[in-house]
């Protein structure tokens, strides 16, 4: 389904909701969700046009699954009444309901803010959901199980295809992908690197001014061509430094050293570069123009020397670490640190977008283990297993998600995915029987 169709349905649904056409808005938003069930805005607007409070709960919870920081959904849940047949926030243990809490911590902007306004450093949303009796038996999506496959063994696996890899393997034997990743020591460039880049751009601008002076005042086209070449070189090096290319870093240092050497050589030999293009001029004009050009070029030369010296200092002693890289092996591993189920879900989605389905499956395992009743996590885990070829695992997880789901828009895509996995599993079983 084209993204433009989803956007058209979404915008038309929002317009219908604003116009008070609830049925039309509901139909349009449902179409958008059938094409893209992780559309945060569609779930949010659908919560305003559904018919029951139970459906509103489901829509807003799906919004918070996709984006735990969505304040509109948080406010909506707090304003909704308790689900039908249950007292708000005080359900007894045997009532068939359980209270769920989503808490989000925020880093204080300053120590004073943490002391004076502690209540602003966290947000908490509470709601109640029916207890699922089968929840205690839902262990099929955990990292350890009775299945005899890679997920049951403690092995290092490829981040892409979940095949076992050795500590020295540069390529996966299964998917043939390159497993060696080079990352910068610093994820983001430091201020020193930015200063160095600006100095290189400034050096090029000084050469541009010298070229313009030689053309307009001195008519020294040969010297202007030389300065134009230097302009292109330094701006090209600045572009490479901006994108943190090691070759540009080394080449820029060499270029700055050569510039300083050229100024030193010119000072020792005392070549009047400004006068090289004035020989054809009348003597009276030459006598007037030559000191003017010489003074301007000397003034710019002083700035060039200062810029080159400062650039060498930053290029050698300050900006060097910005270009250092470390090698790492792309294996499936859970991101370190304490995280919520929504955090694991977000990381998994990013890994899946890069094709790292094994790494994504590990994170969806954690998300589903923390929130067993969240259908979206189980559905994504089932899809990840299917992409990796673990069809039996995928089928069990998807069937569990289908059993938990009570909302029609989520059941339909689950049924399609279950049918797809069943077909794949049947084909594999037939191939296995033929080999016997």
DSSP state of 167: T
Does the pTM of the predicted model rise above 0.85? no
* pLDDT of residue 299 exceeding 80: no
Mean pLDDT of the chain: 78
In the chain, the largest separation of any two C-alpha atoms, in whole Å, equals: 108
Would you call 49 helix, strand, or coil by DSSP? coil
Distance, CA of 357 to CA of 348 (rounded, Å): 8
- Same topology, domains 3-136 and 137-183+331-435? Answer is yes
Query: What residue spans define the domains of the chain?
Result: 3-136, 137-183+331-435, 191-323
* CA Rg value for the chain: 33
State the pLDDT at residue 90.
43
pLDDT surpasses 70 at 51: yes
According to CATH, the topology of domain 137-183+331-435 is 1.25.40
pLDDT in tens, 363-406: 999 888 888 878 888 889 999 999 999 998 999 999 888 888 77
Class for domain 3-136, per CATH? mainly alpha
List 105's β-bridge partners, or say none. Answer: 122
Query: Which tens digit of pLDDT belongs to each residue from 168-214?
Result: 899 998 899 999 988 888 888 999 999 999 999 999 999 998 888 77
CB-CB contact of 334 with 367 (8 Å)? no
Instruction: List CB contacts of 70: < 8 A, sequence separation 6 or more.
Output: 40, 44, 63, 64
Q: Has residue 122 got a pLDDT over 50?
A: yes
């Amino acid at each position: 389904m084209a993204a433009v169709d989803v956007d058209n349905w979404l915008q038309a649904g929002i317009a219908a909701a604003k116009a008070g056409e609830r049925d039309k808005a509901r139909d349009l938003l449902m179409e958008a969700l059938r094409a893209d069930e992780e559309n945060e805005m569609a779930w949010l607007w659908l919560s305003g046009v559904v018919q029951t409070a139970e459906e509103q709960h489901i829509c807003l919870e799906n919004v918070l699954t996709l984006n735990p920081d969505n304040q509109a959904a948080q406010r909506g849940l707090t304003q909704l009444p308790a689900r039908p047949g249950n007292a708000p926030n005080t359900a007894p243990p045997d009532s068939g309901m359980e209270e769920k809490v989503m808490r989000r911590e925020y880093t204080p902007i300053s120590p004073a803010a943490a002391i004076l306004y502690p209540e602003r450093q966290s947000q908490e949303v509470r709601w109640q959901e029916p207890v699922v009796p089968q929840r205690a038996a839902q262990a099929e999506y955990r990292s350890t199980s009775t299945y005899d496959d890679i997920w049951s063994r403690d092995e290092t696996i490829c981040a892409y295809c979940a095949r076992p890899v050795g500590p020295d393997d540069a390529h996966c034997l299964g998917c043939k992908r390159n497993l060696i990743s080079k990352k910068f020591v610093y994820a983001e460039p430091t201020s020193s690197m930015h200063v160095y880049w600006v100095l290189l751009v400034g050096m090029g601008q000084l050469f541009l001014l010298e070229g313009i002076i030689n053309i307009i005042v001195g008519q020294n086209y040969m010297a202007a061509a030389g300065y134009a070449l230097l302009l292109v070189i330094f701006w090209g090096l600045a572009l490479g430094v901006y994108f943190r290319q090691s070759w540009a870093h080394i080449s820029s240092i060499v270029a700055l050293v050569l510039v300083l050497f050229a100024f030193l050589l010119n000072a020792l030999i005392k070549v009047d570069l400004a006068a090289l293009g004035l020989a054809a001029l009348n003597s009276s004009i030459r006598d007037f123009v030559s000191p003017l050009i010489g003074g301007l070029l000397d003034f710019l030369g002083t700035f060039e020397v200062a810029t080159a010296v400062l650039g060498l200092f930053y290029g050698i002693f300050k900006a060097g670490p910005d270009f250092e890289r470390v090698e790492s092996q792309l294996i499936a591993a859970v991101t370190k640190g304490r995280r919520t189920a929504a955090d694991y879900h977000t990381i998994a989605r990013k890994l899946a977008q890069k094709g790292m389905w094994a790494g994504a499956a590990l994170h969806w395992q954690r998300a589903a283990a923390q929130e067993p009743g969240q259908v979206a996590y189980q559905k994504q885990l089932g899809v990840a297993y299917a992409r990796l070829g673990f069809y039996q695992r995928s089928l069990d997880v998807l069937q569990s998600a289908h059993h938990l789901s009570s909302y029609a828009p989520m059941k339909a895509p689950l049924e399609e995915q279950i049918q797809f996995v069943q077909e794949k599993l049947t084909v594999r079983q037939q191939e296995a029987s033929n080999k016997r």
